[in-house]
A and B are shown apart, each in its own frame.
Chain A
Amino acid sequence: MATGKGTLAGKVAIVTGGGTGLGKSMSLLMGGEGCDIVVAARRVNAIEQTAREVRDLGCRALAIPTDVTDTRAVNNLVERTIREMGGLDILVNNAGIVRGQERRPLWEITDEDWRLGIDTNLSGAFYCSRAAMKRFVDQGHGKIINVASGNGMRGARGDFMYGTAKAGLINLTRVMAITFAPYNIQVNCIAPGFVDVRQLQPDPVTREVFRTAQYIPVGRFGVPEDIGHLGLFLASDASDYITGGLFPNDGGGLAGGVAPTGYAPVIEMEEN
């Protein structure tokens, strides 16, 4: 495999939710390896900014405003990508929202709340994958990278829609991986841990817990590049034999989680 810049030269990727955060980081890191990027999200300003920065790296970039919960918009996104960029090799399903996920009592969550959470965090990835997969099958290669969450592996208090949708996304990954493995299509899933989400924490106590990062073994929050580099790896040839995988990238938290970080008793062994 080639090393250094350009390992993705000639490839085309769609990154949903590419305007900010993890999606932006993945767009720029993949662009840095020569990949042409289609940045898709609802916020036009943000995706245009990402596209500009990708172009600054010397790659082609398109910003296509897209609501991933809208099948027609998603189909249009894939068609335009293929028409204007000349192909599609990599799909990063990164769009998702925590908005509307404020911890409310279960009985106050409306059908609409529920559908919005599931649609954005799960159905959107399905619609995008469905739109891209035929192309991947016909051309005999393709890579899908789903961005789920540690919340999809474990329960967080009151995290009804987001956590449930992300758990669904994790298994959608496996189902697609198994189904399309014979076509040389790799489908993998990243489960980020806490990537600088302090501003999303609703109450001061929780914010303080998050500020100190005390439950994260490495002692800091993730930054978008932590996740972006994993996305880059999974987008590259280096991962051609890896499919159906779940890759937590969380500062070590999920390996523990039965005691607070810092809980470290010393217990001498008892001899009978």
Chain B
Amino acid sequence: MICEDFRLSGKVALVAGDSKYWSKYAGAALAEAGADVALAARNEKRLAEAAEEVRGKGQKALTVPTDTTDAAQVEKAVGQVVSELGRIDILVNASDLVFARPFLDVSEAQWRRVLDVNLMSAFHYCQSVGRRMIEQKKGRIINLLSCLAERGVENFSAYCASLGAVLQLTRALDIEWARHGITVNAIGAGWMSEEKSTGGEQEEQLLKYLPLKRYGHPSEVGPLLVYLASDATDFFTGQILYVDGAATCHL
């Protein structure tokens, strides 16, 4: 159930980037709110699954297999979305390449890969879509990040650095584009899983530590995403909001 003020009827959203959950769950949430949804990522199986979710909500879905780290491919994908769906009102940067190992064991290639996927992808999409949003004098950009954009966890150095960079991109673009009617916000997702538990001692330790003693389900991010994408948030920009079961607020 979605408040009338938050409905996205008639809007076109682009969910861009590869991630374990976001094509599917961000796509579903936006479609449920009434948006047509384009999905751009490399993993075609996940794209197809996500498109299925969107169509299941009665909205149009367009899948565009794209290497989101490649500027030319991104530009082509964005052009295709605009020509087939008419415009892009909402950009969701959803790249989320998770990688963790002790910092001294991270190779330069791995470091670059994590930054390419998590940061460069957002860079390419913000440029390509942002240009069009400036022309239409309105837009919503939502970067799907995690608590690790602002907090450290052992072994996550490359991941933390890449997400922290996108968080700062969020704040910088807020300042640069607010006057064009474009809001730029980020969502910090907490520890997410589709399953209650996947086993393991480390996991047990983690769940015990968390205020709610459980993972978030990726679908729990949807309502905030829809709110930030809606017309109710014209004055709301440059912020990171957490859907993390209080993980970032406790001492």
- Interface residues of A, Cβ cutoff 8 Å to B: 150-151, 153-157, 159, 163, 255-270, 272
* Total A-B contacts with CB atoms under 8 angstroms apart: 85
Indicate if the CB atoms of A258 and B249 lie closer than 8 Å.
Answer: no
Give the shortest distance, in Å, between B207 (CB) and chain A (any CB).
10
* Given A255-B152, A259-B191, A264-B202: 6 more A-B contacts, CB < 8 Å: A258-B153, A260-B206, A264-B102, A265-B202, A267-B155, A270-B98
Supply 12 A–B pairs (Cβ within 8 Å), ascending by A.
A150-B251, A154-B251, A155-B251, A257-B250, A258-B244, A260-B205, A264-B102, A266-B101, A267-B98, A269-B110, A269-B113, A270-B97
Give chain B residues whose Cβ lies under 8 Å from the Cβ of A270.
20, 97-98
With A262-B205, A267-B100, A270-B97 in contact, do A256 and B249 touch (Cβ < 8 Å)? no
Give chain B residues whose Cβ lies under 8 Å from the Cβ of A156.
250-251
Categorize the interface residue count of chain B: 35 or more
Best-buried of A255, A258, A267, A268 by chain B (most CB within 10 Å):
A258
Give the shortest distance, in Å, between A71 (CB) and chain B (any CB).
31
Indicate if the CB atoms of B249 and A154 lie closer than 8 Å.
Answer: yes
Question: CB within 8 A of A258: which of B20, B100, B102, B151?
Answer: B151
- Interface residues of B, Cβ cutoff 8 Å to A: 18, 20, 41-43, 97-102, 110, 113-114, 147-148, 151-155, 190-191, 202, 205-206, 208-209, 244, 246-251
Give the shortest distance, in Å, between B163 (CB) and chain A (any CB).
12
Question: CB within 8 A of A255: which of B102, B151, B190?
Answer: B151
How far is A263 from B205 in the complex, measured between Cα atoms in Å? 7
Indicate if the CB atoms of A269 and B250 lie closer than 8 Å.
Answer: no
Considering only CB atoms, which chain B residue lies closest to A150 in the complex?
B251
Interface of B: prevailing SS? loop
Question: CB within 8 A of B155: which of A163, A255, A264?
Answer: A264
Indicate if the CB atoms of B250 and A266 lie closer than 8 Å.
Answer: no
Give chain B residues whose Cβ lies under 8 Å from the Cβ of A257.
151, 247-248, 250-251
How far is A257 from B191 in the complex, measured between Cα atoms in Å? 12
Give the shortest distance, in Å, between B24 (CB) and chain A (any CB).
14
How far is A150 from B249 in the complex, measured between Cα atoms in Å? 11
Indicate if the CB atoms of B99 and A267 lie closer than 8 Å.
Answer: yes
With A258-B147, A259-B206 in contact, do A151 and B154 touch (Cβ < 8 Å)? no
Give the shortest distance, in Å, between B17 (CB) and chain A (any CB).
11
Give chain A residues whose Cβ lies under 8 Å from the Cβ of B206.
259-260, 263
Question: CB within 8 A of B99: which of A258, A262, A263, A268?
Answer: A268
Question: CB within 8 A of A266: which of B20, B41, B155, B191?
Answer: B155
Give chain A residues whose Cβ lies under 8 Å from the Cβ of B97.
269-270
Indicate if the CB atoms of B43 and A259 lie closer than 8 Å.
Answer: no
Considering only CB atoms, which chain A residue lies closest to B97 in the complex?
A269
Question: CB within 8 A of A154: which of B101, B102, B152, B250?
Answer: B250
With A258-B190, A269-B97, A272-B18 in contact, do A263 and B251 touch (Cβ < 8 Å)? no
Considering only CB atoms, which chain A residue lies closest to B46 in the complex?
A272
Give the shortest distance, in Å, between A215 (CB) and chain B (any CB).
8
Give chain B residues whose Cβ lies under 8 Å from the Cβ of A272.
18, 41-43
How far is A157 from B248 in the complex, measured between Cα atoms in Å? 14
Give chain A residues whose Cβ lies under 8 Å from the Cβ of B20.
270
Indicate if the CB atoms of A265 and B100 lie closer than 8 Å.
Answer: yes
Considering only CB atoms, which chain B residue lies closest to A261 in the complex?
B154
Give chain B residues whose Cβ lies under 8 Å from the Cβ of A256.
151-153
How far is A265 from B153 in the complex, measured between Cα atoms in Å? 9
Give chain B residues whose Cβ lies under 8 Å from the Cβ of A259.
153-154, 191, 206, 209
Give chain A residues whose Cβ lies under 8 Å from the Cβ of B101.
266-268
How far is A92 from B10 in the complex, measured between Cα atoms in Å? 59
Give the shortest distance, in Å, between B18 (CB) and chain A (any CB).
6
Considering only CB atoms, which chain A residue lies closest to B208 in the complex?
A260
